[in-house]
Amino acid sequence: MSRLERLLTGEPRVATAGIDLLAEGVEAQGAAVTRTEWHPPLEGTEDALAAITAAVDLRAANEEAVGRLVGTHPHWTGMAVAREVMEMGERTFLHAGPPLQWDDCSGPMRGALVGAMLYEGLAATPEEAIALGPEIELSPCHHHRAVGPMAGVISPSMPVSVIEDAAGDGVSYATLNEGLGKVLRYGAFAPEVIERLKWIETVLGPVLADVLARGGPIDLRSIIGQALQMGDDGHNRNRAATSLLLRQLAPPLIGGEGPHRDEVFRFVEGNDHFMLNLVMAAGKIGVDAASGVPGSSMVTAMARNGTEFGIRLSGTGDAWFTAPAPVVDGLYLGAFTAEDANADIGDSAITETVGLGGFAMAASPAIVGFVGGTASGAVQRTLAMYEITLAEHPDYKVPILESRGTPTGIDAARVVRTGVLPVINTGIAGKEPGVGMVGAGIVEAPVACFTQAVQALAEEVARA
Which helix (H) or strand (E) is 462 found in, with range? Answer: helix 447-463
d(CA 391, CA 67) in angstroms, rounded, equals 8
Q: Torsion angle, CA of 435/431/115/273, rounded to 10 degrees?
A: 60
Q: Tell me which stretch binds another protein (CB under 8 A): 34-42, 112-120, 141-149, 182-190.
A: 34-42
Closest distance of CB 64 from another protein, Å: 13
d(CA 110, CA 342) in angstroms, rounded, equals 12
Closest distance of CB 174 from another protein, Å: 33
b/e string for 285-322 if b means 16 or more Cβ within 10 A? Answer: bbbbbbbebbbbbbbbbbbbbbbbbbbbbbbbeebbbb
Residues contacting residue 75 through CB under 8 Å, at least 6 positions apart: 163, 164, 165, 166, 216, 217, 218, 219, 220
Residue 229 contacts another protein per CB under 8 A:
no
Query: In terms of CB distance, is 41 or 441 closer to another protein?
Result: 41
Closest distance of CB 93 from another protein, Å: 42
Closest distance of CB 151 from another protein, Å: 36
Closest distance of CB 166 from another protein, Å: 30
d(CA 264, CA 268) in angstroms, rounded, equals 6
Phi, psi (5° rounding) for residue 208? -65, -35
Residue 397 contacts another protein per CB under 8 A:
no
Q: Tell me which stretch binds another protein (CB under 8 A): 54-62, 193-201, 271-279, 346-354.
A: 54-62
- How many degrees, rounded to 5, is the angle at CA 282 between CA 276 and CA 284? 105
Residue 17 contacts another protein per CB under 8 A:
yes
Closest distance of CB 7 from another protein, Å: 5
Closest distance of CB 388 from another protein, Å: 9
Beta carbons of 282 and 348 less than 8 angstroms apart: no
Q: Tell me which stretch binds another protein (CB under 8 A): 130-138, 255-263, 414-422, 437-445.
A: 414-422
Query: In terms of CB distance, is 17 or 254 closer to another protein?
Result: 17
Residue 366 contacts another protein per CB under 8 A:
no
Q: Tell me which stretch binds another protein (CB under 8 A): 80-88, 277-285, 301-309, 377-385.
A: 377-385
d(CA 396, CA 125) in angstroms, rounded, equals 46
DSSP code for 323 = E
Q: Tell me which stretch binds another protein (CB under 8 A): 25-33, 119-127, 232-240, 327-335.
A: 25-33
Amino acid at 4: L
Q: Which of 43, 44, 46, 337 binds another protein (CB under 8 A)?
A: 46
Residue 335 contacts another protein per CB under 8 A:
no
Residue 131 contacts another protein per CB under 8 A:
no
Question: Distance of alpha carbon 12 from its chain centroid, rounded?
Answer: 42
Distances (CA, A) of 457 to 68, 172, 311, 354, 451: 19, 26, 13, 20, 10
Q: Which of 348, 418, 426, 452 binds another protein (CB under 8 A)?
A: 418
DSSP code for 306 = S
Give the pairing of strands 137-140 and 92-95. parallel
d(CA 409, CA 141) in angstroms, rounded, equals 21
Q: Which of 42, 43, 44, 53 binds another protein (CB under 8 A)?
A: 53
Q: Which of 5, 84, 103, 169 binds another protein (CB under 8 A)?
A: 5
Closest distance of CB 341 from another protein, Å: 30
Closest distance of CB 84 from another protein, Å: 46
Instruction: Say if residue 217 is preceded by a cis peptide, omega within 30 of 0.
Output: yes
If you write DSSP's letter for every residue of 206-259 in order, what string do you get?
Answer: HHHHHHHHHH--EEHHHHHHHHHHTT--SSS--HHHHHHHHHHHHHHHHH--SS
Q: How many residues bind another protein (CB under 8 A)?
A: 62
Closest distance of CB 378 from another protein, Å: 9
Give the three-class secondary structure for 186: helix
d(CA 117, CA 129) in angstroms, rounded, equals 6
Residue 59 contacts another protein per CB under 8 A:
yes
Residue 432 contacts another protein per CB under 8 A:
no
Question: Distance of alpha carbon 347 from its chain centroid, rounded?
Answer: 6
Q: Which of 222, 226, 229, 380 binds another protein (CB under 8 A)?
A: 380
Residue 386 contacts another protein per CB under 8 A:
yes
Residue 462 contacts another protein per CB under 8 A:
no
What is the maximum span of the chain, computed from C-alpha positions, in angstroms?
A: 81
Q: Which of 130, 230, 246, 375 binds another protein (CB under 8 A)?
A: 375
Residue 364 contacts another protein per CB under 8 A:
no
Beta carbons of 207 and 253 less than 8 angstroms apart: yes
Residue 12 contacts another protein per CB under 8 A:
yes
Closest distance of CB 37 from another protein, Å: 5
Closest distance of CB 367 from another protein, Å: 16
Q: Which of 95, 185, 235, 414 binds another protein (CB under 8 A)?
A: 414
- Residues in the site for another protein, rule: CB under 8 A? 1-19, 21-23, 25-32, 34-41, 46, 49-50, 53-54, 57-60, 362, 375-376, 379-380, 383-384, 386-387, 400-401, 414, 417-418, 420
